[in-house]
Structure 1
Amino acid sequence: MKKFPNAFVIIIAVILLSWILTYIIPQGTYKRVANEESGLIEVVNNSYQRINIEHLSAFDLILAIPRGIIGRADIIVLILLLGGCFYIIEKTGALSQGLGKLVELLKGKETLALIIVSALFTAAGATIGLQEEVIAMTPILLLFGRSLGYNTFTTVYMSYGSTVVGSAFSPSNPFAVIIAQKEAGLPLLSGSEFRLIVLLVAFVLWVLYLINYGNRNRVKKEEMTSDNQSVSGRNQIILFLLCITFGVVTYGMLELEWGFNELSASFFALGIISGLIGKLGVNKTGETYVSGFKEMIFAAMIIGLANSISLILKEGMVIDSIVYGLFGPLKSFSPAFSGVLMMISHVILHFPLPSYSGQAVMTMPILVPLSDLIGMSRQTCVLAYQYGAVMADMIVPTNGALMAVLAINGISYNKWFKFAIKPTLLILLIGAIAIVAAVTMGYR
């Protein structure tokens, strides 16, 4: 059997397929208006109409590559600067000493370590929608996982996978729940109690599955290498600053509306300060930062290339047609069944539209009137969106963050899909049960 294509080849192939689909799928569009209160561009319900415009040329296809990369410049910069920052901290010896001490404390408590790490990443996904940031942490997480005897899949599961579960079932994810509730005309953070209960159920099931897999697929532990038995004073300061930085950026995202640029600036400063504290010197710190860029450049480009896919479908005027085809038939079914089908439709839609925040802005104005018509609450409509769209980040090859994480870990997409599809369907089943329960109990 020939070697399965790598992440770069897969993304390029999907970009080409998207361009071909603009010639096959009928062109259509919804009318859009600007919301003066939120500042968002909203879709007008029942405004879909077929159109006939000139198709994208072959040159437009090629042009979408650099345009897609430019469109994700803020995330690419974050990945590069965050990667450079961690590379510097690693070269100071702070990470190896800190992880070595942590592994020593957790010796014989590997299952507890897995639960703690999964809980931390789930919480990060639930609160700030953490995802792309995992890319830069991946080399460190791999080292940590191997030192505990866990294979690569387990490590990706407890980090990236946990962030997806946390983001999908979050009561407060600012890029999913908050945007969707705003579009649905609901009070922000309303219905959080029910979401929190479902999140706890999903997390417990997720961790149990992860523990079972991790224990059945143990690998030989790799000893942590450290120059000193204990963490040096300088490295204690560096690790302390790392913790402080994470606290600051979390507060900034939750309370100060920080975006990727503020995060990039924070970690850039941390990297420079860490290099100087770690006695790398000015020149060596700069050289090490550049070396960190090199480690992350492939992952960063995957993020940009993935953006080209939705760019082509939008400018080819077929993304609205896909939305219309997926959600139009739902009005013929009962509220509970429609809610489950709505969740499944969001999973499918996430393939051509891998930004779940963009998916909320695109679909909520269409689905809210539909949910009112069929007797399903708007709150349940938001549930169907967040469970389907965000959980799809676990498997869709158009998600740049997933493909970047897989590329760094050396995991081919076909192996990941076979590995991830079962637990993803299991968690989606929890979402489906929650939607049916929400309809039954009149969740609003």
Structure 2
Amino acid sequence: MEPQKEVNQDYSVKQQNKWQMPDTYVILFFVLLLGFLATYVLPSGLFERETIDGVERVIPNTYHGTDTAPLGFFDFFYAIQMGMVESADIIFLVLFTGGMFEIIERSGALNGAIHRAVHITRGNEFWLIAIVSAIFALTGAVGAVANAVIAFVMVGVIIARTLKLDPIVAVAITFGANFAGFSVGFINPYTVGIAQDIAGLPLFSGMVLRIIVFLVILASLIWYTWRYTKKLLKDPSKSFAGAYGDDEDGNEQELNAPFTTRHKLLLIFVGLSLLFFVYGSIQLKWTINHMSAFFVFIAIGAGIIAGMHYNKLAETFLSGTRKLVYGAMVVGLARSVIVVLENGQILDTIVYGIAVPLEHFPPAVAAIGMFISNGVLNFLVNSGSGQAMIAMPMLAPLADMVGVTRQVAVQAYQFGDGLTNLIFPTSGILMASLAVANLSWTKWLKWIMPLFFIWLAIAVITLVTGVLINWGPF
């Protein structure tokens, strides 16, 4: 038996030495390290800025070098702490989202409602996938849900679990669909609205072409997701991330629990609350802190309607937050990359280096270059409105110089910002959404990349078409 033991030990060593894809934290740590080292290589510099109507904007052609010294050894670790602090609002949004949905899920109301929907569409699961995807794509296109999509990923999880699918489908039909719509955003006030205002274009002009592109992108998402879903329905072993089974959090008995009057009242309360949540986000200009606070309100209200004892309500809420600690902390580490670049004053240097070469290209190539440069910029500044305020003051005059209409420049910014949110690990919303679904970034990337390249092709065709038709204000 001794030789067999040696063989087993040998096999164990080989397994330990086998290369594995780095954890998300490891990847972000090395990105942070590269940013830190870049402060020793790139010259520091800043654009001058001005504040108009409470909005800070970059002033074009004002970039100048500074004498800022490279960051010190301790500054590297200090950036991690500051990334956590500066992302505290999103971190707690993630945690409170987990607590709220844990209460709703344990009540059995959401499982019951989704199971009813699945039962109605049994044999026609395509329509469930298509309708849910279309709803979330539309909310992204009109700006109703962006950061708040984190709160809705759990709906996708329950749908995927009920159908015995996997976390990839859960994220695709919620977060993926939302940012597919966000990348076009034909009436999104936070992206196209701000960008067109800076570019001096009529608000929400150029909508017809954007709606056409939105429908094409949505159709490709539904096709791609359904193609994968069909494989899982036939053979769960085809999953990239491990399909949900009967041993998951919600077993078959729970999923078939009766849909009671109490469940209906709870979901009516949650539904009305979320509608007000959308209203507050758009009309009342709620910040992420307001959103997080409102999730606590929904959690308490749902717990009371569900008949939970106050101790049980508190325990359930905290249990939900614990499940999302991993993803919440990832948000902070992603932000620390920006902290390093800002503290080393090389962020504006990178922006300047991306923008200047575009002046020397033909119009169609320059438009594609704007798209690519904004995609690169989104790795550093993954706020749609924030990127608009940084990029558009430079892209608008640049568009005039290279013979590209400002409407094309606006769409180049939108594609660069929106599409890359689906793949960049520095996007806190992506990492938080993956955490809600318990899906690793590397597995998501493996699945989404073919679709991402399809969307890149659609984006390029759209921009070239815009140049050829001289896409103007209307």
Q: Which residue of 1 aligns with 2:26?
A: 9
SS at match of 1:34: strand
How far apart, in 2, do the equivalents of 1:253 and 1:405 lie? 19
- What's 2:44 paired with? 27
3-state SS of paired residue (1:415): helix
Residue-pair matches, total: 442
Q: Which amino acid aligns with 1:387?
A: F
* Greater displacement, 215-224 / 197-206: 215-224
* 1:154 Cα offset (Å): 2.5
Give the match for residue 411 of structure 2.
383
Query: SS at 1:394's partner residue?
Result: coil
Amino acid paired to 2:23:
N
Q: Is the 8 A contact 1:238 1:274 kept in 2?
A: yes
Q: Which moved more, 1:219-228 or 1:193-202?
A: 219-228
Is there any run of 5+ residues in structure 1 with no aligned partner, and where? Answer: none
Distance 2:255 2:21 in 1: 40
1:91 deviation in Å?
A: 1.6
TM-superposition CA deviations, 1:177-204 (whole Å, max 9, x none): 1222222222322222221121112111
* Residue 207 of structure 2, aligned match among 182, 189, 192: 192
- State the partner residue of 1:320: 348
Alignment of 1:45-444 (within 5 A): 45-128=60-143, 130-218=145-233, 219-220=235-236, 222=246, 224-226=252-254, 229-444=257-472
- Name the CA distance, whole Å, in 2 between partners of 1:228 and 1:134: 27
Please tell me whether the aligned partners of residues 6 and 407 of structure 1 are also in contact (alpha carbons under 8 angstroms): no
Kindly indicate whether the alpha-carbon contact (under 8 Å) linking 2:367 and 2:412 is maintained by their aligned counterparts in 1.
yes
Shift in Å, 1:139:
4.4
Tell whether the 8 Å contact from 1:31 to 1:43 is kept in structure 2 after alignment: yes
Q: Contact between 1:28 and 1:317, CA under 8 Å: does it hold in 2?
A: yes
Partner deviation per Cα, 1:30-66 (whole Å, 9 max, x = no partner): 121222xx32121111112223321111222211122
2:98 touches 2:436 (CA, 8 Å); kept in 1? no
Structure 2 residue matching 1:33: 3-state secondary structure? strand
After superposition, the CA RMSD in angstroms is: 2.0
Query: For 2:378 and 2:220, how far apart are their aligned partners in 1?
Result: 24
1:119/1:162 contact within 8 Å kept: yes
Classify the secondary structure of the residue corresponding to 1:98.
helix
Displacement of 1:140 in angstroms is: 4.5
Secondary structure of the equivalent of 1:175? helix
Distance, in Å, in 2 between the alignment partners of 1:80 and 1:413 is 19
Return the letter of the residue paired with 2:377. L
Q: TM-score, normalised by structure 2?
A: 0.88
Q: How far off its partner does 1:416 sit?
A: 2.7
User: Residue 94 of structure 1 contacts residue 235 of structure 1 at CA under 8 Å; is this kept in 2?
Assistant: yes
- One-letter amino acid of the counterpart of residue 90, structure 1: E
CA 1:201 to 1:106, structure 2 compared with 1: closer, same or farther past 3 Å? same
- Could you tell me which amino acid in structure 2 is paired with residue 83 of structure 1? G
| Cα pair 1:384 1:435 within 8 Å, conserved | yes
The worse-fitting range, judged by mean Cα deviation, of 111-120 and 41-50 is: 41-50
CA contact (8 A) 1:368 1:378 kept: yes
Q: Identity, % of aligned pairs?
A: 35
2:143 and 2:185 in contact (8 A); partners too: no
Quick one: distance in 1 between partners of 2:135 and 2:359? 40
Cα distance, 1:143 vs structure 2: 3.2
Indicate the SS of the match to 1:25. Answer: coil
Cα gap change, 1:24/1:344 in structure 2, threshold over 3 Å: closer, same or farther? same
Shift in alpha-carbon separation, 1:172–1:142, aligned structure 2, 3 A? same
- Which secondary structure state, in structure 2, belongs to the residue aligned with residue 18 of structure 1? helix
Choose from 42, 52, 56 the match for 1:41: 56
CA contact (8 A) 2:327 2:434 kept: no
State the AA in 1 paired with 2:211.
L
Distance in 2 (alpha carbons) for counterparts of 1:147 and 1:266? 28
Hey, what's the Cα distance between the residues in 1 that align with 2:433 and 2:24? 10
* Counterpart code for 1:380: V
Relative to structure 1, is the Cα distance of residues 230 and 421 closer, same or farther in structure 2, using a 3 angstrom cutoff? same
Structure 1 counterpart of 2:105, one-letter code? E
* SS in structure 1 of the partner of residue 171 of structure 2: helix
Q: Is the 8 A contact 1:125 1:167 kept in 2?
A: yes
- Does the CA-based 8 Å contact 1:114-1:158 persist in structure 2? yes
User: Contact between 1:79 and 1:132, CA under 8 Å: does it hold in 2?
Assistant: no
SS across alignment from 2:380: coil
**Rg larger for:** 2
Kindly provide the CA deviation profile for residues 268-324 of structure 1, in whole angstroms up to 9, marking residues without a partner as x. Answer: 111101111111122211221111221222222111221111121122111111111
How far does residue 385 in structure 1 lie from its aligned partner after superposition? 0.3
The equivalent residue for 2:13 is: none
User: In 1, distance between residues paired with 2:210 and 2:270?
Assistant: 31
The TM-score normalised by the length of structure 1 is: 0.94
Matched-pair contact (CA < 8 Å) for 2:152–2:174: no
Post-superposition offset of 1:266: 2.3
Determine helix, strand or coil for the equivalent of 2:419. Answer: helix
Which AA in structure 2 matches 1:416?
A: W
Change (3 A) 1:378 1:79: same
